[in-house]
Structure 1
């Protein structure tokens, strides 16, 4: 129809039909969100066949807001406990903090699975990130109170202090941007704040990138430190390479059951670093490409909407300057 250049009445009818199709699709999507959905495998294991679908839209928003408040409050508590552990060396306080991390990430994975059932579009990596963090927190919780632990303890607490600070920054700024974009209809109502960086955060939030990359480098440094601890002569929770090579076989055998945990922690921190930095870095070229495409499209739309392009305006100015110069030369000739 568009190739045959329809009449103005036909164009209006086509435009009306396109708007009607979009409206129908939106209505069907809203109806789909109201229908109950099946739980995923993780929720079936945790909750069984309990229906977690929230049918009321206001209840969905309320549950999402509770999720956001839960993350903010627990980040604050984690920050306080991390600072306390930096200055107070009490085993009970350490275990309390580690147990809080385990409970926090376990609860986070359950809540995010419920949000996913109810229409949230959280990316797969960030959910996997929280599952891995749950495992890491559990291993840290059962790490015995040894000299090797105290070599890593201070670094771990500083890491959690910085992570809590960055999470607070992300929560405050991402929530504000999400609120504005949702009001403009550019984001989904069930979108949530995350630990990473998405393309919609580019508006005024690009300053968060240095903080995020610092967290990722800290994770890599943790992995390196834990790997170096595997060579500690008094290591009890990791396969000590020096112990395996130089000590007696019987003693090395007694160390082996404990020795598989710290290299595992090093591997987990490295996986977190790699997944976070790759996922976040993939957003930047994608966003730059989208920005160039948008600029080009806006330029084409402006040319189509306004026949007098900047080139024509420039030609007009040049012709006016030429006419002015010629008139001045004529006046000069007359005066001579």
Structure 2
């Protein structure tokens, strides 16, 4: 019995010693872990660096500052090496892409040259009568499909671009604004159409508000500031439209040059009108007659823009579906479509152009024979007349072109019916 008690006492003593050693070891490990937490957090993401830093930081005197600095240095060196590797890989990829693009560009130019040569040969043979018109028509259809696939797909950027012009270079410098992907080009075109829709509403709203305020609040006399703010907005509007249209032309859109020149003239007129003194009393109504007529013309222009945007966009979608227009074309210059649109739009457009010319003539009369003889009035009158004549000529040319196309289609259908 006594022997058993002695054995139990010895075992208890051994357990006490073991527990004491375990507790001391726990405290030592805890102190080391607290010291290790002083290392930067980035070291924990790299196991080799972390093990090396932990080994150096848990010496006899606790964690050292040199181990932390060494960890940061090795970390920065590792990231620098990774950045260099990524740079080299990106440079190699760009080099391969440039070589592939040059090869594709050469093929695209050769294909475009072959299409032009074959089209010229077909036209020459058809003119000389050495080819059947039916065969020539089939060949032209195939050529149209090939041109459409080349110009309307992602290969379009491989073809030579149109000159960007001095206007874009003046605002943006000698930069290439042509998108390499077709979806980006179409997004630019869609944003341009949406911008025209928004500005057409504002074009109608701003002059209407000015005329209403003149009658209700300003006692028939425009103050200078609201009119000049409207003219500043016109300058911004026409400048932004001209910029967007030049970008669209560089990306393959078939915008008639006149519409861009029209916006240049409108920009110049808005800029000059900002320096035009808006005279008040006495005889305010007579002095501001030109401003009233210009705002009335602006209201008519807003109505015409809304109608054009509505009808012409639908017409353009139809022409694109029929293959008669490109996806990058816009609604400028597409004067009318079906007969109902002709009956509605043409009278409005011709009336608007006539009224625009009338306002220009009136401004010249006021400047030459009236109380206001400022040079701004003369220049604005001349610009309005030039824009009215240009719009009229462009509208007539568009209608004549449509009539020729319709006559050609009618002749082809008649010939096909006779052959059958």
TM-score by length of 2: 0.60
Answer yes or no: is 1:132 the counterpart of 2:265: yes
- Identify the residue that residue 170 of structure 1 maps to in structure 2: 308
- Using the TM superposition, give the Cα deviation of residue 16 of structure 1 relative to its aligned residue in structure 2, in angstroms: 9.2
Which 10-residue stretch deviates more, 56-65 or 162-171?
Answer: 56-65
| Correspondence for 1:113 among 237, 246, 257 | 246
Q: Which runs of 5 or more residues in structure 1 are unaligned?
A: 239-258, 306-336
Candidates 56, 60, 72, aligned match of 2:181: 56
| Partner of residue 211 from structure 1, selected from 344, 348, 373 | 348
For residues 123 and 103 of structure 1, the distance between their equivalents in structure 2, rounded to whole angstroms, comes to: 21
Per-residue deviation at 1:154? 1.2
SS in 2 for 1:120: coil
Partner of 1:313: none
Q: Distance in 2 between matches of 1:303 and 1:219?
A: 49
The aligned counterpart of 1:192 is: 330
1:272 matches 2:418? no
Query: Structure 2: where are the runs of 5+ without partners?
Result: 1-124, 214-221
More moved, 217-226 vs 274-283:
274-283
Change (3 A) 1:142 1:23: same
Query: CA shift at 1:223, angstroms?
Result: 1.3
Give the match's secondary structure for 1:230: helix
1:289 corresponding residue in structure 2: 404
State how 1:1-336 maps to structure 2 within 5 Å. 23-29=145-151, 30=153, 33-35=156-158, 37=161, 39-88=164-213, 89-146=222-279, 147=284, 149-194=287-332, 196-198=333-335, 201-202=337-338, 204-207=340-343, 208-235=345-372, 238=373, 259-305=374-420
Question: Separation in 2 of the partners of 1:95 and 1:161?
Answer: 17
Structure of larger gyration radius: 2
Q: Judge conservation of contact 2:315–2:337 (CA < 8 Å) in 1.
A: yes
Structure scoring higher RCO (CA < 8 A, sep ≥ 6) equals 1
CA contact (8 A) 1:43 1:113 kept: yes
Partner SS for 1:201: coil
TM-score (norm 1): 0.74
Shift of 1:17: 7.8
Please state how far the C-alpha of 1:32 moved relative to its aligned partner.
5.5
